[in-house]
Chains A and B, each alone.
Chain A
Amino acid sequence: MCDQTFLVNVFGSCDKCFKQRALRPVFKKSQQLSYCSTCAEIMATEGLRENETLASLKSEAESLKGKLEEERAKLHDVELHQVAERVEALGQFVMKTRRTLKGHGNKVLCMDWCKDKRRIVSSSQEHAVTMPCTWVMACAYAPSGCAIACGGLDNKCSVYPLTFDKNENMAAKKKSVAMHTNYLSACSFTNSDMQILTASGDGTCALWDVESGQLLQSFHGHGADVLCLDLAPSETGNTFVSGGCDKKAMVWDMRSGQCVQAFETHESDINSVRYYPSGDAFASGSDDATCRLYDLRADREVAIYSKESIIFGASSVDFSLSGRLLFAGYNDYTINVWDVLKGSRVSILFGHENRVSTLRVSPDGTAFCSGSWDHTLRVRDGGRWAF
């Protein structure tokens, strides 16, 4: 490291030990100091030790990653579609658009169903609920149906109590709950109206108390913007999954703030994640034009839903009630319906005139709604015509 010969012609007080010694110049963070030879040597060896520590940590991390892959691979004895070979194939699908909702003046970005299955909240790139910013990227219905939460480029998540009284100004009763340092990409109430989970462009997720606005837990681990999240369906479960621009899907324990499982098989941003109805798996939709299924107990990806002809990113995914169908909205304006078990596409739905940005199956599973940049929302239902 020190292969230069210093001409010692300075004598004075060492900048480190302050003893009167022959001094040599040393550089620490581009600042020039004068150290005695002893202190200079100590600094050199400390530097070496730090580099060693860094190097050994890096190699430990690499070997752990390798071990993780090995452990996962050991249990990869079969593919999901092989197990599903004996399952009866699905016949032709017919889906009909029952409602086309044309109220938005601009791109529809997000939507959510009310538990009563008859109302939908949707957000768009405009001022429908007098939001102080243009892009409202996330919205969610409270479980009780009495409030909605939304947020976007304002970096906040605000809760609006719902009223059907035309004289009441909804914006006046709004309550700011979450504060991030970058845009809000997704939000969801937990099992009650009292807590909200948010995901943000600042790379974190957070759990907030609605009443006090207090931060209850934060979730760090994503290496880039978090774009989506979904809560595990079980009443007792306390986990959620998030997907981000770092191509990772991460499963979190809500109480400890710990990431319990992480999956990195996508080749681009993950735009949407959704739990399988049983809670044992989740699906993801990504800009790499694929959707994937990850099983939580096998701790690995178990299926990829893709076709060579599909080259546009999937923006939004959701399962049908039984988990047999995966609906995915794409940036090429279509919705592909996948057979989750067999891995094949059973239907392709047209109708939107621009990107499909959001898609949700109704809580009772009888219909699904898609929102698009073409300013509309379409509610579809239908069923199989068995052959």
Chain B
Amino acid sequence: MSSGASANALQHLVEQLKLEAAVERIKVSQAAAELQQYCMQNACKDVLLVGVPAGSNPFREPRSCALL
């Protein structure tokens, strides 16, 4: 029966929602603090954030140096 199929689908949905409702959650304040902490800890390694010292940029155009 066509209604049997949708009852099945609804049953799956109910089971899935029960699973999702049972997930363990933490407060946004704690989660946000940890995201921030990760950023701060790794900021110095983030080249796109802090830039590279002039000599070590692999993409920079090679510059010639004239020796006097």
Q: Which residues of chain A have a CB within 8 Å of any CB of chain B?
A: 29, 50-51, 53-54, 57-58, 60-61, 64-65, 67-68, 71-72, 75-80, 83-84, 87, 90, 95, 98-99, 221, 258-262, 276-278, 280-281, 295, 297-300, 302, 320-325, 340-341, 361, 364-368, 379, 381-384
- Which listed residue (B17, B23, B31, B48) contacts A367, Cβ 8 A? B48
Is B6 in contact with chain A by the CB < 8 A criterion? yes
Is B42 in contact with chain A by the CB < 8 A criterion? yes
A61-B13, A80-B32, A99-B59 are known contacts. Are A323 and B38 too (CB-CB below 8 A)?
A: yes
Least CB distance from B44 to A in Å reads 8
19 contacts between A and B (CB under 8 A): A58-B10, A64-B14, A71-B21, A77-B28, A78-B27, A80-B32, A83-B32, A87-B39, A260-B20, A276-B38, A277-B38, A297-B30, A298-B28, A320-B46, A322-B39, A340-B35, A341-B35, A366-B58, A379-B59
Asked if B28 and A366 make an inter-chain contact with CB atoms under 8 angstroms apart, the answer reads no
How long is the Cα–Cα vector from A68 to B11 in the complex, in angstroms? 17
Which residues of chain A are near B38, meaning CB under 8 Å? 276-278, 280, 322-323
How long is the Cα–Cα vector from A302 to B20 in the complex, in angstroms? 18
How long is the Cα–Cα vector from A78 to B11 in the complex, in angstroms? 35
Tally chain B residues at the interface, Cβ within 8 Å.
47
Residues B12-68 near A (CB distance < 8 A): 13-14, 16-21, 23, 25-36, 38-43, 45-52, 57-60
Asked if B3 and A340 make an inter-chain contact with CB atoms under 8 angstroms apart, the answer reads no
Q: Which residues of chain B have a CB within 8 Å of any CB of chain A?
A: 1-4, 6-7, 10-11, 13-14, 16-21, 23, 25-36, 38-43, 45-52, 57-60
Which residues of chain A are near B28, meaning CB under 8 Å? 75-80, 295, 298, 300, 302
Which residues of chain B are near A277, meaning CB under 8 Å? 38, 42
How long is the Cα–Cα vector from A76 to B29 in the complex, in angstroms? 8
Which residues of chain A are near B19, meaning CB under 8 Å? 258-260
User: Count of A-B contacts with CB under 8 A?
Assistant: 178
Asked if B35 and A323 make an inter-chain contact with CB atoms under 8 angstroms apart, the answer reads yes
How long is the Cα–Cα vector from A67 to B13 in the complex, in angstroms? 14
Asked if A98 and B60 make an inter-chain contact with CB atoms under 8 angstroms apart, the answer reads yes
